Structure 1
Amino acid sequence: MKPTLRQLEYLVAIADTGRFSDAAERLNVAQPSLSTQVADAETQLGATLFERSRAGAYPTPIGEQVIRRARYILRQMEDLKAIAAHGETGLFGRVRLGVLPTIGPYLLPRCTKPIHARFPELRLSINDAATDRLASMLEQGLLDATVSTLEDHPGCEGVTLFSERLWIAVEPEDPLAATSQPVQLDDLKERGFLTLGLGHRLTKLVQQLAYRAGGYVASDYEGTSLDAIRHMAALGAGIAVLPDLYVQCEARRDDSLVFRPIEDPRASRDIALVWRRNSPIRDGLELLAEIMRDAARGALGQQKTRQTGA
């Protein structure tokens, strides 16, 4: 006999969570059943795959090799199902889409109608998560594609949807609020920056920006959302650094803050639709990317037109 696909899923879940109990909860199965299946897989393979202790479960050296191959097998099975569900070029049924929380709420609502019109049989299952988590889920085959930053998904492919600059937001009493013109890095020297927690590409950008400007990232506060960062800036807790799409679609309506774009070529990021290399639904995803690109262009272009008075 050979290990089943279900048993391979159990092995991967234990490796991801570090505990049999957490893996059972994640897969919605009883822990005794999961333990029995793992023991059966170990018997069939003739090797101990996990070191068990009160602190958790850790893959043995042979277990690491087995789990790495199990991930590959499970990804291939997901691709096989995708071919059957979506065909070679179109998108049908359920597609699992990951999205950055700093992008999804402001981009996806603008895509809903054109996506339904172009792919009436498509049902998007949305997973909102930080960059690191999206990368892990895409690699494991838990997502079909993700709206993210391409450089954070090595070994994957994708197409750029749009580029966005970064802005600062400060309370009206702040000296930086004297003008709405682009702000220079020298103006941010020794200032505290507010940003999201670890695992977000935006956080890395803000950390790099603070270093180049001679400022620092506030260590006593990590925002859970862009809204939270914006509200903290309004209370005078520091300078909020916010991406363009969010500023144009949401934050510019907040008259308790003054917004200024940052004048620096590295104060920006490229947002892409990313998928695994050799994805069986690549052609359909490229069509989906066109819709998203048009939606982003409309949001950013429309707002910029209003700003210039055109």
Structure 2
Amino acid sequence: MEPKHLVQLAAILDCGSINLAARKLNVTQPTLTRNMQTLEMQAGGSLFNRSRHGVRQTPLGEALAREGRVIESAVWSAQQSAVRYGLGMKSETRVGVGPLMASLVMHRVTERLLQHYEQLSVLIQVASPGLMLDQLNRGELDLVIGPLVVSATHKLERQLLFEDELAVYASGSHPLAGAERVEISDLNDFDWINLGTYTFFGESPVELLQRAGVERFNTAIAVSGDAAIGLNAMASGQYLSLMPARLTSQAEQVFGLKRLPVDGDFGRRDMYLWYRPAVGNDAVMALIRESILEVLGLV
């Protein structure tokens, strides 16, 4: 199989149309059609079904398109590495982090990295833990900072970065903010913001609240990928949110957040450094670890 044919298949399925994909890829529609016919012959089955509404993938087409996207991503990464090298950045570190870590900690970590390594290029990617660990396993990331993922592949190694627990937060103007003690029942009937609701790696925020005994609540806002949206909404004083305490401590003053003294257990959110065995002793990884702990006041 031609790798470019797999990339072209991914473009067709993503665009939903051979014509649109041809424009995106800057090839003619007849050429693209012939390439797909060749790929179907080699794969031994239909890759997509055509209709007046566009194309719909078959299971075989979906599987091959997935590989095409991997190839396209690898080519893009290689191109970016070449560009950075041309700009004088002779080395690169690719780090995957979650939304809160990205918003509250990583800007200070990257400053310290660049002070030590003037020609280092740092790529920060924000995504779900499961997705980032898959990318780490494929060699598309060098390091992931994230929670324990039960389904993570055994090929990866991890070390505990810091321990953390989930706690209930509100702004200083929230009705519960001034209470000396908050019972679980006091949390009923409030609106909540869920950060990372669609970032599955364990129990969801809804499941955690229910397990802790909160019976009635409304998820007013759910945020995935950008913590700043939720943090700014929290500052309005209308919402509660279940958040990791150590990380959120970096946002308390800026966003006027306050940890509520709730008598309840909402679970842990310990953070780990995930890496492939070959880079476990990397000096850059060690500096990232040290910098994060310093930002959080843990050293």
User: TM-score normalised to the size of structure 1?
Assistant: 0.68
CA contact (8 A) 1:189 1:215 kept: yes
Residue 178 of structure 2 corresponds to which residue in structure 1?
Answer: 178
Residue 19 of structure 1 corresponds to which residue in structure 2?
Answer: 16
Unaligned runs of 5+ in 1: 86-91, 306-310
Where does 1:88-237 land on structure 2 (aligned, <5 Å)? 93-116=91-114, 119-131=117-129, 133-134=131-132, 137-138=135-136, 142-151=140-149, 154-155=152-153, 157-159=156-158, 160-172=160-172, 174-179=174-179, 185-196=184-195, 198-201=197-200, 204-212=203-211, 213-223=213-223, 225-237=226-238
Q: Distance in 2 between matches of 1:125 and 1:297?
A: 20
CA contact (8 A) 1:193 1:218 kept: yes
CA contact (8 A) 2:99 2:126 kept: yes
Residues matched between the structures, number: 282
Once the 2 structures are TM-superposed, how far is the Cα of residue 214 of structure 1 from its aligned partner?
1.7
CA contact (8 A) 1:106 1:245 kept: no
Residue aligned with 2:270, SS: strand
Once the 2 structures are TM-superposed, how far is the Cα of residue 262 of structure 1 from its aligned partner?
5.4
Residue aligned with 1:154, SS: coil
Runs of at least 4 residues off by over 6 Å: none
CA distance 1:216–1:19, shift in 2 (3 Å)? farther
Residue 239 of structure 1 corresponds to which residue in structure 2?
Answer: 240
Among all aligned residue pairs of Structure 1 and Structure 2, give the percentage whose two residues are the same amino acid.
Answer: 21
Q: Distance in 2 between matches of 1:191 and 1:266?
A: 17
CA distance 1:35–1:123, shift in 2 (3 Å)? farther
Q: Which amino acid aligns with 1:218?
A: N
Q: Provide the aligned C-alpha RMSD in A.
A: 4.3
CA distance 1:153–1:64, shift in 2 (3 Å)? same
Residue 288 of structure 2 corresponds to which residue in structure 1?
Answer: 292
Higher helix share: 1
CA distance 1:258–1:149, shift in 2 (3 Å)? closer
Residue aligned with 2:99, SS: coil
CA displacement, residues 105-139 of structure 1 (integer Å, 9 cap, x when unaligned): 22222222443355554322222234465456556
Q: Distance in 2 between matches of 1:142 and 1:10?
A: 21
CA distance 1:115–1:73, shift in 2 (3 Å)? same
Q: Which amino acid aligns with 1:167?
A: A
CA distance 1:185–1:24, shift in 2 (3 Å)? farther
Residue aligned with 1:39, SS: helix
Q: Which amino acid aligns with 2:297?
A: G
CA contact (8 A) 1:131 1:199 kept: no
Q: Distance in 2 between matches of 1:22 and 1:293?
A: 48
Once the 2 structures are TM-superposed, how far is the Cα of residue 203 of structure 1 from its aligned partner?
9.9
CA distance 1:147–1:57, shift in 2 (3 Å)? farther
Q: Distance in 2 between matches of 1:97 and 1:28?
A: 29
CA contact (8 A) 1:161 1:289 kept: no
Q: Distance in 2 between matches of 1:192 and 1:166?
A: 18
